[in-house]
Amino acid sequence: QAPNIRLQREIKMVKKTYMSQIKKTGKITDNFVCAPDPENMLQWYFVIFGLDGPYEGGFYLGVLTCPASFPKNAPNIKMLVDNGIFMKNEEICMSMTSMHPESWNPAWTVHQILVGLVSFWYQDELTSGAIYYKDHG
């Protein structure tokens, strides 16, 4: 595969972001870490952590897969472990994913997409790929 210059730049930006957070606060404050597969920079693995409430103490592994045409086209995201909000191994429907090409913005970075994903953990809105709970109160 031809090197994706944009993703090569993003790898450097993510490292710089994490180092800056650690320098300022002594820890990563984004509630996730991400890095590309060493063999395939189109595939980024991430771990979400440090969440509150029912997710407290959990570590949630997922994968963000960019198309070869990234950033022209949006990536898709799947959670690889049970997590209480998204179905395991099902594509997650967000405006920042391939399920909504009409709302994709090529300026969005992998890091920004994952910030958006983390915010979904606390929203009441349900989306395709989410686990639906019925409250029997």
Q: Which long-range contacts (CB under 8 A, 24 or more apart) does 9-18 make?
A: 10/109, 10/110, 10/111, 11/35, 11/36, 11/41, 13/109, 13/111, 14/110, 14/111, 17/111
Catalytic residues: 93
Q: Cis peptide leading into 71, omega within 30 of 0? A: yes
Q: Give the total residue count for the chain.
A: 137
Q: List the beta bridge partners of residue 63.
A: 45, 78
Residue type, 126: L
